[in-house]
Copies of this chain bind each other. A is one copy, B any other.
Amino acid sequence: MKRLLLILLVFATTKNMGQQMDNKAIETAMVKAMEWQEAHPIFALAPTDWTNGAYYVGVSKAHETTKNPIFLAALKTQGYRNHWKPLYRTYHADDVAISYSYLYANSTRKNLVDLGPTKEFLDTHLYEPNKWKDGTDKNKEKKILWWWCDALFMAPPVITVYTKQTGEEKYLDAMHKYYMETYDLLFDQEEHLFARDTRYQWGVNEKDLKEPNGKKIFWARGNGWVLGGLALVLTDLPKDYEHYDFYLNLYKKIAARIKSLQHEDGLWRTSLLSPESWNHGEVSASGFYTYALAWGVNNGILDKATYVPAVTKAWNALAACQHENGMVGWVQDIGADPQPATADSWQNYGTGAFLLAGSELLKLER
């Protein structure tokens, strides 16, 4: 009996040491990814655009989990250089995504970050009229504030953490109002996935856009924005907030569906219902999914036995997409629908998704 206990103990210790070694490898991979990205700044519109917004959400979470100052140093440097300002289009959810990182920096040191520009953006975005909110834009898909599903990553997590830090709960109600509009418009109740925007829905346009296999177009990254955004929202939303369960249930539904669509190599394809279109793993969507699913396990929402193998396999496959020099490849470029990636295609938000995934993997009891 003693001997058995000893053996068990040795096993337990070994496993633990194994995880420690894994965690060291994960953190090293994350640091290298961040270092490469910092050495290759990129933007579409400006250093404060959504591409950087998403990247620095990843850097924020990487620091929160690891406490490695190397992440915070990079995050503060960009915030300082950007004067802690969102981009200027106050009608556009994309342009406030960067504020997530400012709010994170604010949580690390008092009187460092100027939250004024973020508050100003949110006040205008949520409470002032604009062409999308008012439905006066000439593009017929742009008839609500958050008319494309990516927006659910860009603005809501900023709003929940802003509310958490300031205590001003009125912002949650505004968020919920616009979130419901998007949900009502774009969530496919049969597929449990979000259409990217109304152009990809069936029965509402002149012609239904279809995949070559005749199925609906559900974009992997689009649903990555939603599922990743939900994990971020649920992290900061008060558990007693009246609509908390709406977000929790939506998260669970999408999580289950996404799990079912994982390719056996661990990664997801850019077209969720037509994986054969571009039959290779794509890292930005897969990173957001891995983050969100691991977050669910770590927070007791998703079943360990079911999900731990899935996210572990996903992480290993993500890690294999990183080049020796730290660059994270296999990232689909900026777009709105499924398109291919290559081993050499990279983008800052792909690195962000990688960091998000790593930040929850490090917490996963494996």
Residues of A within 8 A of B (CB): 35, 38-43, 45-47, 69-70, 73-74, 76-77, 80, 112, 346
A112 B45 Cβ-Cβ under 8 A: yes
19 chain-A/chain-B pairs, Cβ below 8 angstroms: A35-B39, A35-B40, A38-B40, A40-B70, A40-B73, A41-B73, A41-B74, A41-B77, A42-B73, A42-B76, A42-B77, A43-B73, A43-B76, A43-B77, A45-B112, A46-B80, A47-B77, A47-B80, A69-B346
Question: Across the interface, which residues of B come within 8 angstroms of A112, CB to CB?
Answer: 45
Q: How far is the CA of A46 from the CA of B112 in the complex (A)?
A: 9
Q: How far is the CA of A238 from the CA of B11 in the complex (A)?
A: 70
Nearest CB in chain B to that of A47: its residue:
B80
Interchain CB contact (< 8 A) of A80 among B35, B39, B40, B43: B43
- Sample of 17 more A-B contacts, CB < 8 Å, known A41-B73, A41-B77: A35-B39, A35-B40, A38-B39, A38-B40, A39-B39, A40-B70, A40-B73, A40-B74, A42-B69, A42-B73, A42-B76, A43-B77, A43-B80, A45-B112, A46-B80, A47-B77, A69-B346
Question: Across the interface, which residues of B come within 8 angstroms of A35, CB to CB?
Answer: 39-40
Question: Across the interface, which residues of B come within 8 angstroms of A45, CB to CB?
Answer: 112
Question: Across the interface, which residues of B come within 8 angstroms of A76, CB to CB?
Answer: 42-43
**Nearest 3 CB-CB pairings of A with B:** A42-B73, A41-B77, A40-B73
Question: Across the interface, which residues of B come within 8 angstroms of A73, CB to CB?
Answer: 40-43
Question: Across the interface, which residues of B come within 8 angstroms of A42, CB to CB?
Answer: 69, 73, 76-77
Q: How far is the CA of A240 from the CA of B196 in the complex (A)?
A: 49
Question: Across the interface, which residues of B come within 8 angstroms of A38, CB to CB?
Answer: 39-40
Question: Across the interface, which residues of B come within 8 angstroms of A47, CB to CB?
Answer: 77, 80
Which of A42, A74, A112 has the most chain B CB within a 10 Å cutoff?
A: A42
Question: Across the interface, which residues of B come within 8 angstroms of A80, CB to CB?
Answer: 43, 46-47
Nearest CB in chain B to that of A44: its residue:
B109
Which of A35, A47, A74, A76 has the most chain B CB within a 10 Å cutoff?
A: A76
Nearest CB in chain B to that of A347: its residue:
B69
Nearest CB in chain B to that of A45: its residue:
B112
Question: Across the interface, which residues of B come within 8 angstroms of A39, CB to CB?
Answer: 35, 38-39
Nearest CB in chain B to that of A36: its residue:
B35
A105 to chain B, nearest CB (A): 11
Nearest CB in chain B to that of A38: its residue:
B39
